[in-house]
Amino acid sequence: MPRKRKVKAREGVHRQKVEESLANLGKEVVDDITKARPPRLKIPSRSTSNIIYDETNRYFVLGPHYGVRSAGSLKQVKKFAQLMCTADFCRDLIRSGKFATLREMYYTAEGWDAGPFRDQGESNVILEDLEAAFGLKRESLGLTPEEDGASVYGKLVVNEGGVTIDATKAGRAGYTIPPTIDDVDFIRCRAKRVIAIETMGMYHRLVQEKAWKKFDALIVGLKGQAARATRRFLKRAHEELGLPIAIFTDGDPFGFHIAMVIISGSAKLAYINHELAVPDARFIGVTASDIVKYNLPTDKLRELDIARLKQIQKDPRYSNEFWQDEIKRMLELKKKAEQQAFSKYGLSYVVKEYLPEKLGLKG
């Protein structure tokens, strides 16, 4: 039976909660000033020493250490003022129902009383402070990155800004995941699983071969390292639609990393991995064992690849037997392989043979 969800004005409810968080910050600052106290804000430390791999939840989280932004410190007063201006800017975006790019906010700051940022790196750090302080994503604050979203093809119908979109009728590339994916309602889904694909070349191959129909799947093109909105889409598809997530990447350390960021999150975003990571997602990408089993065309590992493999070999996210065996074997083979290597056996081979076996649908 298709999964149906009633539209619940998700966008309005979500924005109201975010605006309340920002309003409470303003009230606390006013309260401090009224009581002749320097306004201050506790911000979780994002230093590497405060980033912990949570064995229970299976993703990186922030530890207990905090820093303080205070208007009572001459060294911090400008940054505190810029943080407040950023919060005010985000509140105005939320109230108006508009969005701005990170670059637009950087230039807007040229007109702030708090003074402009030295560069966009500085404005990004201030925004990260705000995200960490409230456990909110920048997209929830009305700010979006510059890059285009990933694509989804399959039996999924969504409501985005009052417009109903069918992911099988949104053009050859499918439905584009917006940065504001939390404002999108899932109306109907007839898929049974999600297959996330590293390269857009392989994504289009699977769409052309009708893999979405053959496997009852939503096919998601990651465009390399998955953007935050893409990871949030996968998280929501898993939790709200009950769909298992499978990740198909190249057989190299960077393909492994792309998959692991989806599964266990990244250290950089430890403060919001609870909204992005999908610990139950399954890796079905090319392995060292596949290189041997399918006699795939390969490239020689570069020194950079070898160094990266040795690095992830010590990463707690790769501690289980499967990953340790495959990393060791790749180092022994000194070879890597791309998704497209299966084209050696024909353009449709990956859909007819490889994926059915990996998904446990063969036979």
Main-chain phi, psi angles of 139, to 5 degrees: -65, -35
CATH code of the domain in which 320 resides: 3.40.1360.10
Q: Within this chain, do residues 239 and 287 fall inside the same structural domain, yes or no?
A: yes
Domain ranges, residue 80: 3-144
329 close to 251: Cβ distance less than 8 angstroms: no
Residue 252 above 80 pLDDT?
Answer: yes
pLDDT per residue as tens digits for the range 135-167 = 888 888 988 876 667 999 999 999 998 999 999
Place of tokens 């009633």: 6
Q: How many domains does the chain have?
A: 2
CATH code of the domain in which 111 resides: 1.10.10.10
194 falls within a domain: yes
DSSP 270: T
Q: Within this chain, do residues 136 and 155 fall inside the same structural domain, yes or no?
A: no
For the chain, how far is it from start to end, CA to CA, in angstroms?
24
pLDDT per residue as tens digits for the range 63-122 = 999 988 888 888 889 999 999 999 999 999 988 888 888 999 999 999 898 889 999 999
Cβ atoms within 10 Å, residue 241: 17
Q: Within this chain, do residues 137 and 218 fall inside the same structural domain, yes or no?
A: no
Residues that are catalytic? 107
Q: Within this chain, do residues 127 and 158 fall inside the same structural domain, yes or no?
A: no
Place of tokens 């997209």: 139
Domain ends where: 117, 144, 171?
Answer: 144
Q: Within this chain, do residues 140 and 158 fall inside the same structural domain, yes or no?
A: no
* Alpha carbon distance 27, 327 (integer Å): 52
Cα atoms in the 13 Å half-sphere on the side-chain side of 145: 14
363 falls within a domain: no
What is the model's pLDDT at position 96?
A: 87
Q: Within this chain, do residues 136 and 196 fall inside the same structural domain, yes or no?
A: no
Domain ends where: 144, 164, 180?
Answer: 144
Q: Within this chain, do residues 167 and 127 fall inside the same structural domain, yes or no?
A: no
Domain ends where: 112, 129, 144?
Answer: 144
Q: Within this chain, do residues 98 and 228 fall inside the same structural domain, yes or no?
A: no
Long-range contact pairs involving 44-52 (C-beta distance under 8 Å, separation at least 24): 44/132, 44/133, 44/271, 46/128, 46/132, 46/268, 46/270, 46/271, 48/267, 51/267, 51/270, 52/270
Cβ atoms within 10 Å, residue 52: 14
Q: Within this chain, do residues 181 and 105 fall inside the same structural domain, yes or no?
A: no
Alpha carbon of residue 342 to chain centroid: 28
